[in-house]
C-alpha cells in the first residue's frame, strides 16, 4: 500500500471539490483505490482488472490448496466492520471476503454499545478503531461520513483505508461493483457488456445502489439507461446531468410494461421508506405497477437478466426466482468475490493471486 494524496489538501478545500475531482486523491500511486468512497473512482481499466481478479479468486477458492493459499495472503491485517445502519448481506459479504483472505475482523453494529453512547464523537470513535485495525469498512446513514473519516485518517499518524459500504442515500460503490460484475459475467459469452439497455425500476430517488451503478455503466460502450418509476420516486437530476455530460442515452418512464421487452437487464429496487420525511409518505404512492411477477416474465427477452440489490419486498414475486433469468441470488454471491478482489487489491496482493492462478489453474 502506498500513501494516498489526501495529505496534500486541507479538508475545506477537498470537501468543496466535485466527486470527479476528489477521485484522484483517493488512489494509490498505481491507480488502485486506497480509500474506496465513490463509484466515480472506477474507470473501465480498473473495473476490468477487478472483475478478472474476482474470477481468478473464485477459481482458486474451489480447491482446499487454493483456499489455503488465499487464507494466508493478508493474515497479518485486521479490518473493522463499522455498520451503524442495518445490513445483513453487505455485512456478511464483507465478512466472508475478509475471511477468504485471512483478514481478522472486529465489528461495531450498534452504536448504543460503543462509547458513542457516552457522548464520544463519531470521529473519535473511528480514530480509536484505527489504532487496532488496518482497514475500516463502514456503512452509515450519514452521506459524507466515510469521506470525512478517510480524510481525517489520511492526515493522522495511522492512515488506513476506508471502504464505503453504503453512505446515506448517496453512494454504495461496492454494490455497484458487484452489479457490474454480474452484468459482465451474464453477457461475457453473448457479446459482452456493450450496446445494451439497462432498465432501473422502483425507488430511484432514494436508492443509492442505482445512483452508483448508473455511473459505473458509463464506463461501458453504448449502454442506454431507462429509469422507470412513479414521478415522486424518479431518479435525481444530478444522475441525469452526469449521463448527459458523458453523452449516454437515457429515458424516463412510468410505463414498466413497455420497458420490459427493451431490456437486456432489469434492475429492480424496493421502496426506501426509511427515508420518508413523514411516516407513511411512501405508502401513499401506488407502486404496484412497478412490480415484477409471472406476467412480466413473459415479456422479458430470453437472454435478459433480472437483478435486485436485495432485500426485496413485493416488487419481485417469489415465483419468479426459479427462472434462469432471475439473477439476484447469484448477484449477491458475486458480491463476495468482487469485494475479496477489492480488499486484495487495496492491500496490494493482487499480483500474487495472478501468479498463483497462472501456475495452478
List active site positions: 89-90, 118, 139, 172
Q: How many CB atoms lie within 10 A of CB 287?
A: 20
168 binds ligand NCD (CB under 6 A): no
Give whichever of 130 and 209 is closer to ligand NCD, judged by the CB atom: 209
Give whichever of 95 and 310 is closer to ligand NCD, judged by the CB atom: 310
Q: How far is the CB of 208 from ligand NCD (least distance, A)?
A: 5
Q: How far is the CB of 143 from ligand NCD (least distance, A)?
A: 13
90 binds ligand NCD (CB under 6 A): yes
Give whichever of 73 and 204 is closer to ligand NCD, judged by the CB atom: 204
Q: How far is the CB of 303 from ligand NCD (least distance, A)?
A: 25
Give whichever of 55 and 212 is closer to ligand NCD, judged by the CB atom: 212
DSSP character string of 198-230: EEEES-TTT-HHHHHHHHHHTTSTTEEEEEE--
122 binds ligand NCD (CB under 6 A): no
74 binds ligand NCD (CB under 6 A): no
Number of residues that bind ligand NCD (CB under 6 A): 10
Q: How far is the CB of 16 from ligand NCD (least distance, A)?
A: 27
b/e sequence 97-106, b meaning 16+ C-beta within 10 Å: bbebbbbebe
For residue 139, give every residue at least 6 positions away whose Cβ sits within 8 Å of its Cβ, in sequence order, or none. 82, 83, 84, 85, 87, 90, 91, 164, 165, 166, 167
309 binds ligand NCD (CB under 6 A): yes
**Preceding amide of 191 cis, omega within 30:** no
**Binding residues among 177-206 for ligand NCD as defined by CB under 6 A:** none
Is residue 171 within 8 A of residue 139, CB to CB? The reply is no
Q: What is the rounded distance in angstroms from the CA atom of residue 57 to the CA atom of residue 354? A: 9
211 binds ligand NCD (CB under 6 A): no
Which member of 166, 186, 219, 328 binds ligand NCD (CB under 6 A)? 166
Which member of 49, 270, 339, 357 binds ligand NCD (CB under 6 A)? 270
Q: What is the rounded distance in angstroms from the CA atom of residue 352 to the CA atom of residue 361? A: 14
89 binds ligand NCD (CB under 6 A): yes
215 binds ligand NCD (CB under 6 A): no
Looking at the chain, list the stretches that DSSP marks H as alpha helix, in order from N- to C-terminal side.
Answer: 11-15, 19-22, 44-60, 64-71, 89-100, 122-132, 145-154, 173-187, 208-217, 237-245, 256-259, 294-297, 328-346, 350-360
Q: How far is the CB of 90 from ligand NCD (least distance, A)?
A: 4
209 binds ligand NCD (CB under 6 A): yes
What is the strand order of the sheet 78-83 is part of?
104-108, 78-83, 135-140, 162-167
339 binds ligand NCD (CB under 6 A): no
Q: How far is the CB of 172 from ligand NCD (least distance, A)?
A: 5
Give whichever of 66 and 166 is closer to ligand NCD, judged by the CB atom: 166
- The CA radius of gyration of the chain, in Å to the nearest whole number, is 20
Give whichever of 135 and 310 is closer to ligand NCD, judged by the CB atom: 310
Strands 250-253 and 223-228, how do they pair?
Answer: parallel
Which member of 74, 95, 300, 310 binds ligand NCD (CB under 6 A)? 310
b/e sequence 51-80, b meaning 16+ C-beta within 10 Å: bebbbbbbebbeeeebeebbeebbeebbbb
- Interface with ligand NCD by CB under 6 A: which residues? 89-90, 166, 172, 175, 208-209, 270, 309-310
Amino acid at each position: 500500500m502506498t500513501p494516498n494524496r489526501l495529505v496534500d489538501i486541507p479538508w475545506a478545500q477537498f470537501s468543496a471539490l466535485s466527486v470527479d475531482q476528489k477521485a484522484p486523491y483517493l488512489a494509490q500511486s498505481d491507480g488502485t483505490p486506497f480509500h474506496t468512497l465513490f463509484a466515480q473512482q472506477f474507470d473501465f481499466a480498473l473495473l476490468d482488472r477487478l472483475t478478472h481478479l474476482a474470477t481468478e479468486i473464485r477459481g482458486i477458492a474451489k480447491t482446499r490448496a487454493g483456499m489455503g493459499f488465499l487464507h494466508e495472503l493478508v493474515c497479518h491485517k485486521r479490518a473493522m466492520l463499522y455498520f451503524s445502519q442495518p445490513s445483513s448481506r453487505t455485512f456478511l459479504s464483507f465478512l466472508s471476503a475478509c475471511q477468504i483472505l485471512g483478514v481478522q475482523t472486529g465489528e461495531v453494529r450498534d452504536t448504543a454499545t460503543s462509547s458513542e453512547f457516552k457522548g464520544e464523537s463519531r470521529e473519535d470513535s473511528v480514530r480509536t478503531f484505527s489504532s487496532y485495525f488496518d482497514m475500516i469498512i463502514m456503512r452509515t446513514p450519514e452521506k459524507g461520513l466515510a469521506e470525512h473519516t478517510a480524510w481525517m485518517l489520511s492526515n493522522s499518524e495511522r492512515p488506513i483505508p476506508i471502504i464505503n459500504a453504503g453512505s446515506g442515500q448517496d453512494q454504495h460503490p461496492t454494490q455497484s461493483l458487484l452489479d457490474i460484475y454480474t452484468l459482465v459475467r451474464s453477457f461475457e459469452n453473448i457479446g459482452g457488456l456493450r450496446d445494451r439497455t439497462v432498465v432501473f425500476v422502483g425507488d430511484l430517488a432514494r436508492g443509492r445502489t442505482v445512483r452508483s451503478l448508473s455511473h459505473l455503466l458509463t464506463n461501458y460502450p453504448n449502454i442506454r439507461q431507462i429509469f422507470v418509476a412513479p414521478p415522486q420516486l424518479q431518479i435525481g437530476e444530478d444522475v441525469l446531468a452526469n449521463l448527459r455530460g458523458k453523452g449516454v442515452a437515457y429515458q424516463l418512464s412510468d410505463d414498466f410494461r413497455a420497458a420490459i421487452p427493451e431490456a437486456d437487464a432489469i434492475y429492480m429496487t424496493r421502496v426506501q421508506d426509511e427515508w420518508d420525511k413523514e411516516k407513511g409518505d411512501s405508502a401513499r404512492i401506488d407502486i404496484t405497477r412497478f412490480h415484477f411477477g409471472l406476467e412480466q416474465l413473459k415479456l422479458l427477452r430470453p437472454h435478459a437478466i433480472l437483478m435486485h440489490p436485495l432485500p426485496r419486498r413485493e416488487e419481485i414475486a417469489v415465483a419468479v426466482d426459479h427462472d434462469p433469468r432471475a439473477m439476484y441470488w447469484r448477484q449477491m454471491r458475486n458480491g463476495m468475490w468482487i469485494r475479496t478482489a477489492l480488499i486484495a487489491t487495496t492491500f496490494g496482493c493482487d499480483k500474487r493471486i495472478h501468479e498463483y492462478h497462472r501456475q495452478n489453474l
